[in-house]
Amino acid sequence: MQELSNLRCFRHGVREAVARCPECGRYFCRECITEHEDRVLCAPCLRKLLRPSSVRPFRLGGLIRIIQFSLGVMILWLSFYYLGQALLSLPASFHEGTVWQSGWWEANESE
């Protein structure tokens, strides 16, 4: 640990470094370094550790959710659109056919 005395704090160039952050590998003075669960970390690394991946992945997750949602809506809309197209392309006799007059749904309900 003799070499530490020659090192300066990463943030305070005039201060002597007392510890090395194991996360970023930089040397820091007593003020910049903090102890957390028997580990000595610098402030930025501690913040990162306490709030793991708080900002970016959240945004990314939200974006993915939005994309998934719009994709779902699009697929739903497309299927309805093609269903409508398919129904329209059916011969008119189908609409006037016995399918709609058989009353199968009424038969079901009367039970």
| Contact set with Zn ion (CB under 5 A) | 9, 11-12, 21, 23-24, 29, 32, 42, 45
Minimum distance from residue 55 beta carbon to Zn ion (Å): 18
C-beta of 19 vs 42, nearer to Zn ion: 42
Helix runs in 16-103, H state only: 43-50, 56-89, 92-96
Residue 68: Cβ within 10 Å count? 10
C-beta of 49 vs 67, nearer to Zn ion: 49
Minimum distance from residue 48 beta carbon to Zn ion (Å): 8
Minimum distance from residue 32 beta carbon to Zn ion (Å): 3
Residue 46: Cβ within 10 Å count? 18
Q: Which residues contact 21 (CB under 8 A, 6 or more apart)?
A: 27, 28, 33, 40, 41, 42, 45
C-beta of 19 vs 21, nearer to Zn ion: 21
